[in-house]
Amino acid sequence: MTIKKKHLLISLSVLIALYIFYEIYPSGFQRKIAEGPSFLSKQLSSYLENNKVNSDPYAASRYRPEDPLYAPLLAIQYGDKEKAETLLAPLVEKGNSEAMFWLAEITYGQSIYSGETAGELFIKAAKLGNPYAAIRLDSRDIECTRYMESHCSEEWGEKGRVILKKLADTGDARAGYALFLHDVMLKGGNRTAVSEESFNVLAKASIDGVKYHYYYPLMELASLYRQSYNYPIWVSSSDTNDNTQVLPEEDREVLKSLYKLPAKNNDAYAINLNLPLASNGENAVIDQDYTDSQILRTLPLLSKVYEYGPAFARKSESNSLALIQGAAWAIVDDFNRNGHNFDYGRQFQIYEYFITNEYNQRFLDKNDLERARELSKQIIETLTPVIYLDENQTDIF
């Protein structure tokens, strides 16, 4: 082998080694996660120590019933985009940039031709200073270039970041969380590849958000801790079936208190999504009974058959009326989604499937179904549906 070839192979080997080291070396975010969540319990101690359930059903709601955007966002949550468009249109005409954002959001992706309309609305909202519309127009985001390419530019993304940074610095948790998510997008969707600065943004948003019952950043951070995304490859020893580390007991206790915080403040999204996830797997930090109790307690805030179906099925083992109650809620769920009629719709069919196929229980007879229908009419009078959608969480259940 010639000296020249030998030097070339050595150089190539060094480059490969450096690349591998770069790929497996923990990011600043991972190193901060490795320190554990105890700092959150210290900074949020006054909130965590209060175990009282918030009496305000709308405490964590993005909008309240008296707000102009409450009705259109509720229509979006129930999957009625036509009604939402009708309600949003006059607000858009009045120059409401939030209404523009949501009308653009539900327009985007409806067809390959809808991107032009959505893009124009996002542009209009961004020009009015809406930072969430601006970052939606970032050309580095594939979600923009897929259907709105002619409206996308990196400049819009940077303009949005400037506004979000100013808002986040003043304690706006929604803006801080948006910054973090934008960082993640710039890293190709890899949450653990972002920098220590991004961790600090998320941590600040988590703490700021608790003060105003905005729990998305806190639940994001808790999820990352629970899944133990904090170990560099060379010291990782998998102790669980899903290749994550077993949580230390002290971290488990902190995370348990963090997950309970949005639950007792009526955050319907956290209760119906984060609690069930935190109840499963070998790194579960919340027990199933607690999750079921919170889902059933907050049904007037949000009906989600995928969670209350199993909860009622489990409850029926000790309470024979539970299946009737569950059927009543399924009817209510369909009532809200299907033009306010009491037909047995898709949500009811899903509920029946859970009971008969997933839990192998006998379903209701004709008399029981009639009782469920009558109960559903009473339930409708008690509903206080919350708005869980916001600019950082635009996907409906």
Residues in a beta bridge with 390: 393
Q: What percent of the chain has pLDDT over 90?
A: 72
Phi and psi at 98, nearest 5°, equal -65, -40
Residue with the larger pLDDT of the pair 78 and 10: 78
What's the pLDDT tens digit per position in 196-210?
999 999 999 999 999
CB 326 within 8 A of CB 295: no
Alpha carbon 285 to chain centroid distance?
18
CA distance 72 to 84: 4
Q: Could you read off the pLDDT of 31-60 as tens digits, one per residue?
A: 888 888 999 999 999 999 988 999 999 999
Q: What is the pLDDT of residues 299-329, one digit of tens each?
A: 999 878 888 999 999 998 888 899 999 999 9
Residue type, position 311, single letter: A
Sign, CA dihedral 145-147-152-156, equals: negative
Q: What is the pLDDT of residue 330?
A: 94
Q: Say how far apart CA 35 and CA 231 lie, in whole Å.
A: 10
Domain count, the chain: 1
Task: Determine the structural domain holding residue 328 and report its residue range.
Answer: 301-381
DSSP codes of every residue in 263-329: HHTT-HHIIIIIHHHHTSSTT--S-HHHHHHHHHHTTTT---HHHHHHHHHHHTTT-TTHHHHHHHH
What percentage of the chain's residues is helix, strand, coil (to nearest 5)? 65, 0, 35
d(C-alpha 251, C-alpha 227), whole Å = 12
Spatial distance between the Cα atoms of 195 and 245, rounded to a whole number of angstroms = 22
From 13-17, 71-75, 132-136, 331-335, the region with the lowest mean pLDDT: 13-17
pLDDT at 4: 58
- In terms of C-beta density within 10 A (0-12 exposed, 13-18 middle, 19 or more buried), how is residue 114 classed? middle
pLDDT in tens, 347-380: 999 999 989 998 899 999 999 999 999 999 999 9
Residue 159 binned pLDDT confidence (cut-offs 50, 70, 90): very high
3-state DSSP assignment of residue 301? coil
* Residue 338 included in any domain: yes
Q: Is residue 90 part of a domain?
A: no
Residue type, 57: P
361 in a domain, yes or no? Answer: yes
Please provide the distance, in angstroms rounded to a whole number, between the alpha carbons at the two ends of the chain. 64
Q: Flag whether 113 is in a domain.
A: no
Task: Name residue 136's amino acid.
Answer: R
What does the alpha-carbon distance between residue 262 and residue 209 come to, in Å, rounded to a whole number?
A: 10
Q: Is residue 179 part of a domain?
A: no
Query: Per the domain annotation, does 198 fall within a domain?
Result: no
Q: Which helix (H) or strand (E) holds 275?
A: helix 275-278
Exposed, middle or buried: residue 28 (CB in 10 Å: 0-12, 13-18, 19+)? Answer: middle
Q: What is the pTM of this model?
A: 0.89
DSSP 3-state of 344? coil
Instruction: Determine the Cα–Cα distance for residues 395 and 335; give it in Å rounded to an integer.
Output: 21
Mean pLDDT of 220-239: 65
